[in-house]
Every structure is written in structure tokens, then in C-alpha cells.
Amino acid sequence: MSQTFADQLSELLNTALRSTSAADQIPSGFTAQIDQAQNRNFGDYQSNAAMVLAKQVKKNPREFAAEIIEAIPQSDLIDTPEIAGPGFINFRICGEALENRLSALLEDIERIGVAPAENSRTTVVDYSAPNVAKPMHIGHIRGTIIGDCLVRISRFLGHNVISDNHIGDWGTQFGMILWGWKNILDESAMEEDPIEELLRIYREVNAKTKDDESFKDICKNELVKLQSGDAENLAIWEKCIELSKSGLQKIYDRLDIHFDLWLGESFYNDKLGPLVDQLLASGIAVESEGAVAVFSDGTLGEKDDPFLKNEDDEWKPQPALIRKSDGGFLYATTDIATIDHRIDELKADAIWYVVGAPQQLHFDQLFQISKRRGQDVDLQFIPFGSILGKDRKMLRTRSGETVQLADVLDEAVVRARAIVDEKNPDFTDEEKAEIAEVIGIGSVKYAELSQFRMTDYIFDWDTMLALKGNTAPYLLNAYVRTRAIFRKLGSDYEVASEISLTEDAEKTLTLKLAQFAEIVPTVLDDFRPNALAQYLYEVATTYHKFWEACPVLKADGAVRETRLALCELTGRVLRCGLGLLGIKTTEKM
């Protein structure tokens, strides 16, 4: 596939800049930005290069824009550019270029114009990471779904991606669970729902520790026995891991999410002692009040130093604790060891952490420690906000409990089934069940991915399942409409022998479909799945307008072939784009 329209325009514009009278005044390395126009009445693309450079080259922006246009090489890509406002340069793709691109995209079945990344690299993506012996709750939606989307897009762009579910399978809670397993386990409840029974045990024992301080020591002794290799406690712990993974896998299967690795905290236990010794020997960590911690080394400004905090206008130490005074290790210790493993064993060039925004300080400190150790790896913290109820508070059940993820998925499918029953009573029960699953799960995912990840958003069933607006059902309906045309024909799509774009709605849709190749790579620039979701929504709305303006089956000859081609390509873009978001499609709804 050839370059995108935006790439081609960038080459033309930057060639022109170097041909103007001000060429020697343009900063070295400057590249003019090409943006998609917001309103096609003024063009398809635009650039503010003349305005950006005007002061530098000592020219009036509009006059400089005119000079740039004069210098643009002859091209069969565009009509004559126009100047708008204070100096914007507007470009319009010519009809023949649109027709050629439509033909080329139809032939590029797998990638639809999206070029693989020029520099492929190995990226470890750390996401989801629930705690063992506890069910996943609604708070896990964001990290799990965003992480999966980033994995899918990275792989589509040709990167070697390793997805790692760094589960919490070690720590203080296991002392409580071990005691509870031995003393208050309900075996029949364990057989019926092991995750729920483990959660009950944890809650009851945790409440007991709050009522009786001495009971904390009893649970701690169980944990110490586990950490010391006690056979009974190890066997119980391993059973807990097995049961928890089984329960988690059911949810991941339903979400169509798959991990390459499940390297939990326990995987790194043997590495923690030697790691702390190495950090002490290198001087990165020091002993402090019987513990071991990492302090500021003074190389960063106070405001940028994660090992300092401002209290009462005074900067005070904010160390990262890596070994407690009682010899116990912490999350930071495990996470440092995890980075070592990912670099040394997995050969990672980049490590992405898709984790809630409140963990910012932890990762700021973790990344600085890695930098001090001289590790050459691209570390990225990809935070996200919270999911709120309609009262704009953290979403909870009526009884005040955390909403369980499994319950959310169940209710999504039940609600979707009610819509399917109402809209399509003639479908078989099997068809209704399959469609409801696609719509329900897809709606939960899309409600998440259509938001900027740092935005706190309101979880609203009516909004996410609406057939109109920026929702999964709306996009799925657009896809179904593209497929319905071929069911009416009684055959699959056959390649058009002639493409002829005659109506503006056809040209607008062709341009929008061609921009799929421009949008997909940008998702990883700032980890914004919502950019792809917004684009797909625009595809769906553009297609619906085309559908209303341009009869397909009533047309003849090249016009009919062209419109069928647009239906086919729209379906491919929606199916591929939704797939990158982790959302399945359905042929009927």
C-alpha cells in the first residue's frame, strides 16, 4: 500500500517550504504538520505551517502561505490548495486520487492500508493483574480492557508483544486466607463457587484481625510458615492459586482476552534478597532505621523528584521502601525484580504498565530506580481514571459492596438480550443468545474505550446500550447494514471492475475510510484507544449518510459497483477497527 494521504501531503508541503525565499530561515529539522480538516466544506486536510513560521521568517502569514502554495510541486493528488483565515493552507484530495485509493484499499484485505511499524520492538504489557483469592470487580474493567486493546494494536502494527498478567499471588492476605482455610472453610460452598468462598474467608478473618490485634500475629505466623516453605501451607496456597486462576480465566475467556504469561509476585520471591543486596552494594539503596530504602540522589529538581515531598513549604524525604525492618519485602522490591526479568529474560525494549492513576508515585520512583541502575528500556506508566455511578461517586451495589465484574458482564448480556428480543422476535434462541453476548460485552468494552483513559466516566446502562449515539450497538448496526446489502444480493462481494465516485457522499466516505491507516498508528502515541473509537463512530455516521443519499441496488453499472465497493470496505474497516478494540461483530442484529 502506498503512503497515506497525510504522508503524501506532508512531503509536498515540506518540499515546498524548502523552495520558498525563506528556506534558509526555517529551523533545521522543522516538519510541517498536516491535520485532517474538521469541515470538508473548506478542504480535506489543512496545515498551519505558514502561521507557525511567520514570525521566524519575518513574513505575513497569509502572504507566506501564498508563497508556499506557489512552490508546491505539481501533483495528481490534490486540487489547487486554498488559503483560509489568518493563514491556514487547505488541501482537497482530487476525485481520481480518491478512486485510486478506494481500489487499492479493496485489494489490501488484511491491513486496509495500515503500514507495519518501521522499527519493530519487543514490548511487555503489564495489565489487569487482579489479586488471587478475590473476584475481579468493576475497577478491573479499565486496566484489563485498555491493556488488551493496546496489545492488539501493537501486534497489528508488527511489534513483538508479550502480555503479562502480574497477579497478586503473595502477601499479607494469604496469612488470613491460610488461617481461614484451616478453621472456617465451608467445603460445600468451595465446591459451588470457590472465588466467593475465598472472598468470604478473607473478609471474615480480616474483620477478626480488626477486632482483635493479637489475631494479626496468628495470621502473620501462617504467612511466615508459607514463606518458609511449610508443606501444608504451600499446598493450600497452591490450591488457592489454581482455583483463582480458573475463576479468572472464565472471565477472560468471556472478554476474549488472552495472556502470554501469568508471572505473579510469587515468581520473583527468590530474587528479592539478592536484589536488595545488589542495591545496597551499588549505593542506590541505604539502610535506614533498620529498613532498606532508596532516597533522592539530588540529580533532579525538587518538583520533579519522586523521592521528595513538600510539607509546609519544606522539601522532605519520600523514600521508596524496598525491605522492611522485619526483613519483609514490598511491592517496590518485586517490581524492580520484575523489570530485571523482563529485560534480561524477555529481552524487552519497552515495558508498559496499564495501572490506575493513584499509582503514579510508585511508578515514578520505580522508573527512577531503573534509570539509576543504567537500564536501557522504555518504561511507560499508562494510568486511567475511575468508573463512577450516576451520583458521581465510586460505583457500588445498593448494599455498598464493590460491583463484581462477572455481575456486570451478566447484566450487560441480559439487557442486550431484552433489546434483541424486542427488535428481532423472529430470530432463533441460539441467534438471540449469540447476538446478545456480542452486543452486551461489546457495549461494556466500548463504553470504556470511547472515553479518554484519564477521564472519570459514569457507568450508565441506558447510554452504553443505546442504538443511537457513540455506542457499540450503533457501530455494530452500521456493520450489520454493510453486510445486509450482500445478503439481499444473495452473494458475497466481487471486486469492482470500475470505480467511479460521482456523489459527494461517496467521496466523503472514501476519504474517511482511507484515514483508517492514519488513525491506527496514532493510538500508541499517547495510548489513546478513544481516538480509534471516535474514528469508527465517524465512519459509522458517514456511512449512514451515504446510505441515505446514495441508493445501492437501484443504481446501475459503475455507480452500483462503486457503491457496493464502499459498503464492502466500510464493513471491513468497522470489523477490523472493532476487532482492534477487542469487540466482536455480528452479521445480524
Burial class (CB in 10 A: 0-12, 13-18, 19+), 193: middle
The cell numbers describing 119, all together, are 522499527
What is the rounded distance in angstroms from the CA atom of residue 73 to the CA atom of residue 303? 49
Please state, as a whole number, how many other Cβ atoms lie within 10 Å of the Cβ of residue 270: 10
Encode burial over 394-428: b for 16+ CB neighbours within 10 A, e otherwise.
Answer: ebeeeeeeebbbbebbeebbebbbebbeeeeeebe
The cell numbers describing 419, all together, are 433489546
| Extended strands (E) in 127-268 | 160-164
What is the rounded distance in angstroms from the CA atom of residue 435 to the CA atom of residue 417? 8
Domain spans, the chain: 5-93, 123-166+265-387, 173-255, 436-580
SS (H, E, C) 257-307: CCCCECCCHHHHHHHHHHHHHHHHHHCCCEEECCEEEECCCCCCCHHHCCC
Cα–Cα distances (Å) from 480 to 71, 450, 568, 572, in that order, read 46, 20, 11, 11
- The overall average pLDDT reported for the chain is 94
pLDDT of residue 493: 83
Cα–Cα distances (Å) from 201 to 60, 180, 187, 195, 218, in that order, read 74, 6, 12, 10, 15
Do the two domains 123-166+265-387 and 436-580 of this chain adopt the same fold?
no
The cell numbers describing 131, all together, are 489479586
pLDDT of residue 400: 62
Summarize pLDDT for 499-548 with one digit per residue, the tens.
Answer: 999 999 999 999 999 999 999 999 999 999 999 999 999 999 999 999 99
Summarize pLDDT for 434-461 with one digit per residue, the tens.
Answer: 999 999 999 999 999 999 999 999 999 9
The cell numbers describing 479, all together, are 456493520
Cα–Cα distances (Å) from 408 to 138, 148, 211, 432, 549, in that order, read 7, 18, 33, 19, 39
pLDDT of residue 501: 97
Q: Is the pLDDT of residue 397 over 70?
A: no
Sequence-separated (6 or more) residues with CB below 8 Å from residue 368: 300, 306, 307
pLDDT of residue 399: 58
What is the rounded distance in angstroms from the CA atom of residue 575 to the CA atom of residue 140? 26
Of the options 3.10.580.10, 3.30.70.20, 3.10.310.10, 1.10.730.10, the CATH number for the domain spanning 436-580 = 1.10.730.10
- Are 268 and 337 in contact, with CB atoms under 8 Å apart? yes
Cα–Cα distances (Å) from 2 to 106, 223, 409, 501, 535, in that order, read 13, 61, 42, 20, 21
Summarize pLDDT for 486-506 with one digit per residue, the tens.
Answer: 999 888 888 888 999 999 999
What is the rounded distance in angstroms from the CA atom of residue 445 to the CA atom of residue 256? 11
Q: pTM here? A: 0.94
pLDDT of residue 38: 84
pLDDT of residue 430: 96
What is the rounded distance in angstroms from the CA atom of residue 485 to the CA atom of residue 564? 8
Q: Is the pLDDT of residue 427 over 90?
A: yes
Nearest Cα neighbor of 453 from 526, 379, 364, 390 is 526
- Are 483 and 587 in contact, with CB atoms under 8 Å apart? yes
The cell numbers describing 400, all together, are 455498598
* Residue 228: pLDDT band with limits 50, 70, 90: confident
Sequence-separated (6 or more) residues with CB below 8 Å from residue 178: 219, 222, 223, 225, 226, 233, 236, 237
Residue with cell 491506527: 520
Find the farthest-apart pair of alpha carbons in the chain and give their distance in angstroms, rounded.
Answer: 86
Please state, as a whole number, how many other Cβ atoms lie within 10 Å of the Cβ of residue 102: 23
**Fold classification of 5-93 (topology level):** Gyrase A; domain 2 (3.30.1360)
Q: Is the pLDDT of residue 78 over 60?
A: yes
Q: Facing residues of 378 across strands?
A: 350
Q: How, if at all, do strands 291-294 and 320-323 pair?
A: antiparallel
Cα–Cα distances (Å) from 407 to 135, 177, 271, 402, 577, in that order, read 11, 24, 38, 11, 27
Helix (H) or strand (E) holding 567: helix 557-580
Three-state DSSP state, 122: strand
Long-range CB contact pairs, 321-327, < 8 A, 24+: 321/291, 321/292, 321/293, 322/276, 322/279, 322/285, 322/292, 322/293, 322/294, 323/276, 323/291, 323/292, 324/291, 325/289, 325/290, 325/291
Instruction: Provide the percentage of residues in the chain whose pLDDT is more than 90.
Output: 85
Q: Is the pLDDT of residue 48 over 90?
A: yes
Q: Is the pLDDT of residue 1 over 60?
A: no
- Helix ranges (H only) for 490-549 are 504-514, 516-522, 529-549
Superfamily holding 123-166+265-387: HUPs (3.40.50.620)
pLDDT of residue 227: 84
Summarize pLDDT for 138-183 with one digit per residue, the tens.
Answer: 889 999 999 999 999 999 999 999 999 999 998 888 999 999 999 9
